[in-house]
Amino acid sequence: MFMAVTPSFIAGPEQFYQQIDDIIKSHSLRGCESLCRLLQYLAKQSLDHPHSPLKEYQIATEVFGRPADFDPQSDSTVRVQASRLRTKLAEYYAGEGAADPILVKIPKGSYHLVFEAKLVESPPQTEPSAEPVPRSVVVETVPVRMRTALILLLACLAMSLLAVGILLWNRKLPEPATAVPSTSRAAASALAAFWRPFTSGVEEPWVIFSNAAFVGRPETGMRYYTQRDAKSTVYDHYTGVGEVLAVHALDDAFSTLGRRILVKRGSLFTLDDVRSNNLIFVGSPSENLSLRDIPGTQEFVFRRVASGPRQGDLSIVIEHPKPGEASTYLASPSNAPLTEDYGVIGLVPAIGSGHYVMILAGSTTFGTQGVVEFVCRQESVEKLLHEIPGSSSGPIRPFEALVRVKIARGVPVETELVSVRVR
């Protein structure tokens, strides 16, 4: 641990703990329970055990309740949460904590907190204090001669940049070779409007992709886990081809919007994630089991067929079908080539957190891929927004949509909007 202060300021553990308490009670960390727990833990370990290294395994098991077999190589929870906490600390000190006397930082590559006192200029006639500094505190000062030289250098640099800026401003820029069609600009704005609930905040959204539970071994054969397999070893190492390509499509779309996504497999999902993040679920509830723990779609619902020749198959049921709509939609039968599937797009508010949940799910892995690609294309999103009143002039309202996906040789080749419900 490293604590740096100015000669005119001496702080001890009591002041550091008070600073941590102020941050936790701030607006910046309001509702972020997992980050508050992490900050408290890091502060206690840093102050009580300054020379003991803090490991990801220790933080994962003691703060986030990960099991004893936690593997930092395959689970980035601690690194991601630490990154989020760094962002929150920067947000706090840029706003309500701007006048605080103590800065709290998490250096990259370490989980020990750094406490720094803000620099306070001493009057020129005042001699440095001769009082001894406590052993736990390191004093850092900058020589006056060096500080003056640095200020002059920065002033020269600022004047140079100003001159270059004036030259560029007065320079006549060439006309673009081709103008962007107005329809393309409208489509781009449609994609931005659709994903605004997930791009308007500071934090990146989490993409939770399905990874179903299996029993058996890859070399001898595997099948879905069922209740009768309670004593069998469960493998959740696998996910569908469609989900993999869907995550790639989402990453590409968010890059276009100047943002990025964070990715987590469904078996690592916790309810704390709902309270702290915007979430995008990729995969049907039959495989993405974490969808069962949160509010989902109400009009277009995944349900197993109870009887008949398709008994046991996963279907999408419309709870209140409109004239001309079927009540049940099914993918191609399992004994025939897969040429058609149906999927659901749903935007629902997370209960009591101010965050949003997007559900993107087909009844097969290729249906899921088709649905995700639908919401990542500007032209198809523009059609969807046209069916949601008020979306062109204000925030998009929670909605549900049913999409038909045509498939050829395991590839979604065409998607069609079937029905939309606005909550």
The tens digit of pLDDT for each residue in 170-196 reads 544 444 444 434 444 444 588 899 999
**Helix (H), strand (E), coil (C) string for 139-200:** ECCCCHHHHHHHHHHHHHHHHHHHHHHHHHHHCCCCCCCCCCCHHHHHHHHHHHHHCHHHHC
The tens digit of pLDDT for each residue in 82-112 reads 888 998 898 888 888 898 989 999 988 889 8
Instruction: Tell me, yes or no, whether 211 lies in a domain.
Output: yes
Banded model confidence at residue 120, pLDDT cuts 50, 70, 90: very low
Kindly write down the DSSP assignment for every residue of 256-289, as one continuous string. HTT---EEEEGGG--HHHHHHS-EEEES-TTT-G
- Asked whether residue 237 falls in the same domain as residue 110, the answer is no
Mean pLDDT rounded to a whole number for the chain = 79
Decide: 360 and 371 in contact? Cβ < 8 Å.
yes
- Asked whether residue 87 falls in the same domain as residue 225, the answer is no
Helix, strand or coil, per DSSP, at residue 321: coil
Q: What is the number of domains present in the chain?
A: 2
Instruction: Tell me, yes or no, whether 375 lies in a domain.
Output: yes
Q: What is the pLDDT of residue 8?
A: 42
As a whole number, mean pLDDT of residues 124-139 equals 45
- Asked whether residue 66 falls in the same domain as residue 189, the answer is no
> Which residues are CB-neighbours of 15 under 8 A, at least 6 positions away?
102
Decide: 290 and 281 in contact? Cβ < 8 Å.
yes
Tokens of 224: 């879905």
Q: What is the pLDDT of residue 422?
A: 93
- Asked whether residue 377 falls in the same domain as residue 275, the answer is yes
The tens digit of pLDDT for each residue in 194-235 reads 999 999 888 899 998 887 777 777 777 877 766 676 667 766
How much of the chain, in percent, has pLDDT values that exceed 70? 74
Instruction: Tell me, yes or no, whether 175 lies in a domain.
Output: no
Decide: 234 and 218 in contact? Cβ < 8 Å.
no
- Eight-state DSSP code of residue 253: H
How much of the chain, in percent, has pLDDT values that exceed 90? 37
Measured between alpha carbons, how far is residue 296 from residues 23, 351, 405 in Å? Answer: 34, 11, 21
Instruction: Tell me, yes or no, whether 398 lies in a domain.
Output: yes
Q: What is the pLDDT of residue 144?
A: 45
- Residue 295 half-sphere exposure toward CB, CA atoms < 13 A: 19
- Asked whether residue 230 falls in the same domain as residue 84, the answer is no
- Asked whether residue 118 falls in the same domain as residue 214, the answer is no
- Asked whether residue 133 falls in the same domain as residue 273, the answer is no
Q: What is the DSSP pairing of strand 102-105 with strand 206-209?
A: unpaired
Instruction: Tell me, yes or no, whether 100 lies in a domain.
Output: yes
Nearest to 105 by CA among 170, 190, 19: 19
- Asked whether residue 233 falls in the same domain as residue 315, the answer is yes
Instruction: Tell me, yes or no, whether 156 lies in a domain.
Output: no
> Using CA atoms, how far apart are residues 326 and 323, in angstroms rounded to an integer?
8
- Asked whether residue 120 falls in the same domain as residue 191, the answer is no
- Asked whether residue 403 falls in the same domain as residue 299, the answer is yes
> Which residues are CB-neighbours of 276 under 8 A, at least 6 positions away?
31, 32, 33, 34, 35, 353, 355
The tens digit of pLDDT for each residue in 368-396 reads 999 999 999 999 999 999 999 887 667 89
| The 102-105 sheet, strands edge to edge | 102-105, 114-117, 2-5, 138-139
Domain span at residue 297 reads 185-422
- Asked whether residue 241 falls in the same domain as residue 356, the answer is yes
Instruction: Tell me, yes or no, whether 149 lies in a domain.
Output: no
- Asked whether residue 411 falls in the same domain as residue 287, the answer is yes
> Using CA atoms, how far apart are residues 73 and 101, in angstroms rounded to an integer?
38
The tens digit of pLDDT for each residue in 344-364 reads 999 998 876 678 999 999 999
Instruction: Tell me, yes or no, whether 170 lies in a domain.
Output: no
